[in-house]
Structures are given as C-alpha cells and as structure tokens.
Amino acid sequence: MTCVHPLKTNLPKPAYFTDPFCYEPHPLCLLAAAEVKQELVRMPLTEGKMFGVLVVEESEKLGFLAAYSGLLEGRNDWPYFVPPVFDAQQPDGYFKTKEREISLTSHLSPLSTKTMSQELQLWLFQQYRLLNARGETKDLVEVWQDYYNTPRIRSRYPLPPGGTGDCCAPKLLQYAYLHHLTPVCMAEFWWGESPKSLIRHHAQFYPACRGKCKPVLTWMLQGLDVDPHTDTAENAHQEPTIIYEDEAMAVLNKPAGMLSVPGKTDAPSVASWAQERWPGAMTVHRLDMQTSGLIVVAKTMETYRLLQEQFVNRTVKKRYIAIVEGVPQAEHGIIDLPLSSDPLNRPLQIVDHENGKRAITEYRILSSSPMGRRNIALMALWPHTGRTHQLRMHCAHSEGLGCPIVGDELYGRKADRLYLQAQAISFVHPTTGKRMHLELPYPFEQIFPYQ
C-alpha cells in the first residue's frame, strides 16, 4: 500500500528544499497539511501530537507523505501515514522479546539489568539505517558520533537519547529515499492539546526539534539543495543607538533581531559593536535576539564588576512592555512558574515544577483592543528574576497568562517581529552612586496606538 497521496495543484515548486529548523510553510505544504488535518478530524485521537508533511515528486507529478512523531495512541502502524524507520513494536520481534526478558529478571541483579538494557538500546539504535539524498547509509550511532565528533562534545553526547529517529522528518525522508521520490518541501504542525511542560498551539507549524533531529537531519539532507539560513540576515545591517554615555558606561537601545553577544555565526552583536567603539567594553546583561530595548555596557572591568553585582543582588529594576495575543483574566498579578531548559530542543524552555529554577514576573494590563479576529493586550512586565525566555514563557504558558507575545515564533505565532521591548531600567551609577532611571518612548504605535 503506497503512502503517497495525490496533490492536485498548479502551484510552483520552491527553489530550495526546506530548512527544517528555520522556515515558513510553503503553499504546497499548506495544501498537504490541510488534507492531513481533514484525516485527523476523522481519527479517534486523545493526545496531542506533532505531525509532518513532505511534498514529493515522482515522474513530474506532485504528491505528499504524512507522518506523526513517535507512537500515535500507542501504535506505529496507522494507515495513511509512513511507517517508522525501524519497527521496534512487533510483539515477537527481538527488541520486545529481549525487553520482556530483562523485565522478568530485573529483581535478581540490578547492575546486570542496567548493562543488558544499555546493550539492547545500542542494538536498537544500530537498526536505524538512515539514508541521505546521495543514497548513502549510516546507522543512528554513526550519524550521532559523526556529528558530535570532538572528544569534549562526544563525552557529553556519547549516544542518542531514546526516541531519536522517530520524529516526523526522519520518517518522511527515509520513506521518500527508499521509494525513489524527490523531496520538494516539508513542514510540521501540532495537533491537539499541548503537553503540560511545553507550549504547543493546535494546528500551528513548528520547526524540527534540534536535540534529536539536528544530527539526524544534518546527515539525511545531504544531497539536497537546502534553503540557506535567513534567521539573522534580515537584521544584520541594524545598529544600536546610544541612549546614555559617560566615561564609565553606556546604555544602548538594541534593535530587534540583533544579538547581545557573538553567536555561532559572524552576525554583528551589541558586544562586538561596543568593543569596536570602546575597546575593552563588555555587555553587563543580555536581551534575546528578537527583543529590543535597553542594554547596559560597561567600559571598564571595575564598572562591569559593580554593575554585575547589582544584577546578582537583584537591585536593578527593569520594565518591559509587550503586546500579547488575547487578554489575561486578571488586570494585575504575579506569575511564579519555575523554568528549565529543554535539553533536547534548545533554546526552548519548559515549565519544570520538580527541578526548574524559580521565575517570578509581575504584570499589569495597560490596554486591550481587537486585532482582526483576535483581541490583543498591551502589557507592562516586571521580571523579579532573570531566567532565559522568562517573560515569553510566563506570557505564553497556560499556567501563566496563556497569552503568547505577538511575534513569538518559539512559543506563539511568527510575525514581522517579537513585540517585546525592554523599555525602562534603573540602577545605581557605579561611579557617582546616584540612582539612574532610563526609559524609551513607546515603540509599537503602528500596531497598537497607546497614550
């Protein structure tokens, strides 16, 4: 039974194959996803799940493949969808048979049980024989260790985590290569309720996970002409503006899309810009790349030390403003929601009530207004702690405000920018000892007029 579904359309193909980690769904993928969603409505689903589509070409005719991540309702054999790269769920297969043996003897020797489980997991990884567009094959362990090929990184990531190779994208590409189909474009979307720790919105498109899929897709995409990265190029020409400056320090207004400190690419950052202007200068704190607003730069090590001390002691006061989708129920309140990084999908954060670090945000609704079919609200946000993505998570998560910031492509919906600005900051000047307060004018007048 073929898993290729017809796609009747005159839409042109994209010039490049999708970069699965940074993309806007191509119109062909939107058509394919719409077909899959009609199928999902008819299915007896009780769990939220990531689904994917891969538009393919065969004999100059377009079609599409569909997949789900991992198991769906405990099964991996649903018709309409491509099969797994390797089927470990067969009751009488080697994996399930060995798994039962280990379970039955686990009480006799815990150490031996652990060794046997590790050996079985290694065997399972080696059964995932992953193809790329050149027709080359490597097993999952080879793919993983070739990607993490330095001793320091290899010691940190010796083997893949469980479930690697079972996400949508590897399943789709593997089926296409095995059946000599030409991949055209790809997209993934979430369907159903969000998990409690993560933020997933029903029917919304998402990039592939980096923790499990980055090494795998780096291999499987070889031989395809993949769309070049565009995530930092759009804002590379922008520069910060100086709001305040003296001999010891400066306060800058960072544009949205500019890094605070140098990243993995050569994209400009506030830190590199400041060092060119004031040799030896250092940024005292950071803002997310897509967040605009006030950032403090120290010109000397002594100034840096004194300002850092204030941040550590939480005597620096910051106010952000944001436009969020929806209107929170309470006009004013405190969000106390612990966060930790998602190790398999950095830089995403998750709500972690067991091991997360405490994160506290005060908020107030300044105004609300209709925007198309949705209501939006202008918010003032005061972070009392400084966790990664704290404001974005506290706004978006259902245990917080449940109202993602407009333009938050990680936790909400992508727009022309992230509508979050570090608008005001106050601290003690490291030299004069006087309290300083700096504030930017309101920046979102075009989308949300506010007086």
- Say if strands 182-191 and 205-206 run parallel, antiparallel, or are unpaired: antiparallel
Alpha carbon distance 197, 350 (integer Å): 5
Residue pLDDT, tens place only, 365-385:
999 887 665 789 999 999 999
Please name which of 422, 62, 46 lies closest in space to residue 255, comparing C-alpha atoms. Answer: 422
The catalytic residues are 288
Rounded-to-integer distance, Cα 208 and Cα 214, Å: 8
The CA distance from 194 to 192, in Å, is 7
**What one-character DSSP code corresponds to residue 188?**
E
- Please state the pTM of the whole predicted model: 0.82
CA-to-CA distance for 359 and 209, rounded, in angstroms?
24
User: What does the pLDDT look like over 245-294, one tens digit per residue?
Assistant: 999 999 999 999 999 998 766 678 999 999 999 999 999 999 999 999 99
- Dihedral angle sign, alpha carbons of residues 139, 140, 141, 143: positive
SS (H, E, C) 81-124: CCCCCCCCCCCCCHHHHHHHHHHHHCCCCHHHHHHHHHHHHHHH
CB 345, CB 356: distance < 8 Å: no
- pLDDT digit string (tens) for the chain, length 451 residues: 689 999 999 999 999 999 999 899 999 999 999 999 999 999 989 999 999 999 999 988 999 999 999 999 999 999 999 999 999 888 888 888 888 888 877 666 777 778 888 888 899 999 999 999 999 999 999 999 999 887 776 777 788 888 999 999 999 999 999 999 999 999 999 999 988 888 898 999 999 988 889 999 999 999 999 998 654 445 556 799 999 999 999 999 999 999 999 876 667 899 999 999 999 999 999 999 999 999 999 999 999 999 999 999 999 999 999 999 999 999 999 999 999 988 777 788 999 999 999 999 999 999 988 766 578 999 999 999 999 999 999 999 999 999 999 999 889 988 889 999 999 999 999 999 999 999 999 999 877 777 6
Contact in structure between 183 and 17 (CB atoms under 8 Å): yes
- C-alpha distances (whole Å) from 378 to each of 199, 257, 321, 326, 393 are 21, 21, 7, 10, 17
Burial class, 78, CB count within 10 angstroms (exposed 0-12 / middle 13-18 / buried 19+): middle
SS3 for 367? strand
